[in-house]
Amino acid sequence: MPAIHRTDLLVVGAGPAGYTAAIYAARASLKPILVTGLQPGGQLTITTDVENYPGFAAPIQGPWLMEQMREQAEHVGTQLVYDLIVRADLRNGPAPDGYFRLYGDSGDEFHARTIVIATGAQAKWLGLESEKRLQRGGVSACATCDGFFYRGKTVAVVGGGNTAVEEALYLTHHADKVHLIHRRDSLRAERILQERLFANPKIEIHWNRAVEAVLGHGEPEVVSGLFLKNTRNGETETLPVDGVFIAIGHSPNTGPFRSEVACDSDGYVVTEKGGTTTSVRGVFAAGDIQDRIFRQAVTAAGSGCMAALEAERYLSGIPAMTKT
C-alpha cells in the first residue's frame, strides 16, 4: 500500500552531499528523510582506494566511507527510504499546505517543506566490456582522485575536450609519461589549454585513434595497455600503459528535476553563486548535480553542509505549517 512521507527537509540522493546534508539537518532537529535512489553511496561505491578524504592517514575504501556516512546519518536521526524519485512538482512552488510533492517509483509520495537535490553525476564511458571489467584495476574517470597511484608510471587519457586536456596536464605531476588518445585530428579544448598541452614534454598525442579494448593481465587483473584503431585507415596497434583515464564528460543525474528547476545546457542544476539555492525557493542542490568543475567527495560533502544550513535558515523565516 503506497505511503505518504512528510518531512521538513527531504534529501534526494545518497552520496557524500546527500548524507552530509542529512546529518546537518538531523542535528538541527529537522527530522530529514533521505531517499537513496538506485545507487546508495554514489560513485564512491565503485572507488577502491581513497587517499584524499581528510581525516584518514591510510587509504580507505570508497564503499566503506559511504557506509560510515550512512550509519552516521541514521545515528543522528535521518530516516532512510530505499526508493527512487521519478516525478517532482517543484516549479510552481509548494502546494497550498506549504509542502512540495515528489513521487517515488514504489508509488509512495513525499511531502517536504524544503528539498535538497543531491543525485550526483555519472562519468560517461566508452561502453567497452573490457573498460567496465577493469574499472577496479586501472580504469578511472578522475585524475584528481587516482593520479597519485601512478607516480613514475605511464598512463593514457581518452578524450579531446577541456576535461581531457586538464586531466592530461594534471597527470604529468605524477606519471612519467602521459598519452592523450583522441579520435579526431584536432582538439575541442580551449586554445590556452592546448598550448600548455603541446608544450609539455611528458605528453604524447595520438591523433585519429579510437580505443577498441582495454588490455589487462594478472590476478587480480590490472590494466596493461590499450588496443587502438586508426579512425582513418583502420590500422590497429597496442599501446602499453599502466592506467587509463576516460575523460569524455559527465552526465548529471537530473532526472525528474530537469524541467522543475533551472538547469544549464548540459543538465547541471543552476545554483546561486556561492550557495546552493536553486531557481525555486525552498529547493537546494548540492554535490555533483550542480558542480561540473571539482567533482570531489570532499567538495560534495561541503556543499551538502551548505544546503542543509541554507534550508534551515529558509525554514526559520517562514511560519510553521499546520499538519493535516
> Which pLDDT tens digit goes with each residue over 248-290?
988 999 999 999 999 999 999 999 999 999 999 999 999 999 9
In a domain, 322, yes or no: no
Residue at which a domain ends, from 190, 219, 247: 247
185: left (phi over 0), alpha (psi -120 to 50) or beta: alpha
Q: Please choose, from the candidates 128, 29, 37, the residue with its C-alpha nearest in 3D space to the C-alpha of residue 82.
A: 37
* Pair (28, 53) in one structural domain: yes
Rounded to 5°, the CA angle 286-314-10 comes to 50
Examine residue 232 and state whether it is found in any structural domain, yes or no.
yes
As a whole number of Å, the end-to-end CA separation of the chain is: 20
C-alpha cell of residue 253? 543525474
The answer to whether residues 135 and 242 belong to one domain is yes
Mean pLDDT computed over 190-213 = 97
- Residue 86 domain-assigned (yes or no): yes
pLDDT in the model for residue 59: 87
Q: Beta-strand (E) ranges in 139-286?
A: 139-140, 154-158, 177-181, 203-206, 209-217, 222-230, 236-240, 243-246, 250-252, 283-285
Above 60 in pLDDT, residue 122? yes
Tell me which amino acid residue 308 is: A
Whole-number mean pLDDT of the chain? 94
With cell 598512463, the residue in question is 155
Select which of 8, 83, 145, 305 is catalytic.
145
pLDDT tier, 123 (very low <50, low <70, confident <90, very high otherwise): confident
Are residue 225 and residue 206 in the same domain, yes or no? yes
The pLDDT confidence band at residue 322, using thresholds 50, 70 and 90, is: very low
Of 49, 89, 108, 142, which one is the catalytic site residue? 142
Q: What total of structural domains would you count in the chain?
A: 2
56 occurs within a structural domain: yes
Based on the residue annotation, tell me whether 305 is a catalytic residue of this protein.
no
Name the residue among 149, 143, 105 with its Cα closest to residue 123: 143
- Please check whether residues 225 and 161 belong to one and the same domain: yes
Q: In whole angstroms, how far apart are CA 254 and each of 138, 181, 206, 289?
A: 28, 29, 34, 7
Helix ranges (DSSP H) in the chain: 16-27, 62-75, 129-133, 143-146, 162-171, 191-199, 297-316
In a domain, 234, yes or no: yes
Clarify whether residues 103 and 164 are in a common domain: no
Query: When comparing pLDDT for 317 and 243, which is higher?
Result: 243
Task: Out of 212, 247, 282, pick the residue that ends a domain.
Answer: 247
Span 94-113, mean pLDDT?
A: 97
DSSP-assigned beta bridge partners for residue 178: 155, 203
Grid cell digits, residue 101 = 510533492
Domain boundary among 224, 247, 270: 247
- pLDDT (average), residues 59-65: 90
* Locus of grid cell 544549464: 264
Is pLDDT at 307 greater than 80 in this prediction? yes
Parent domain of 211: 126-247
Same domain, 117 and 254: yes
pLDDT at 212 over 80: yes
CATH number at residue 242: 3.50.50.60
Q: At what angle do helices 191-199 and 162-171 cross, to 10 degrees?
A: 30
Above 90 in pLDDT, residue 14? Answer: yes
Residue 151 grid coordinates: 607516480
Does the annotation mark 264 as catalytic? Answer: no
Per-residue confidence (pLDDT) for residue 62, from 0 to 100: 87
E-assigned strand segments in 231-289:
236-240, 243-246, 250-252, 283-285
152 found inside a domain: yes
* pLDDT-based confidence at residue 110 (cuts at 50, 70, 90): very high
Q: Provide, rounded to the nearest whole percent, the portion of the chain with pLDDT above 90.
A: 86
Q: Is 73 helix (H, G, I), strand (E, B) or coil?
A: helix
In this predicted structure, the answer to whether residue 64 has a pLDDT above a threshold of 80 is yes
One domain for residues 115 and 260: yes
Task: For residue 319, give every residue at least 6 positions away whose Cβ sits within 8 Å of its Cβ, in sequence order, or none.
Answer: none
Are residue 111 and residue 255 in the same domain, yes or no? yes
pLDDT tens, residue by residue, 140-170: 999 988 999 999 999 999 999 988 999 999 9
Residues 139 and 239 in one domain: yes
Do both 232 and 148 map to the same domain? yes
Catalytic site residue 146?
yes
Active-site choice (8, 146, 288, 291):
146
Residue 321 within any structural domain of the chain: no
Q: What is the pLDDT of residue 323?
A: 40
**Is 324 within a domain?**
no
pLDDT above 70: residue 90: yes
Residues 56 and 201 in one domain: no
CA angle (153, 158, 160) in 5-degree steps:
125
Is residue 220 domain-shared with residue 265, that is, in the same domain?
Answer: no
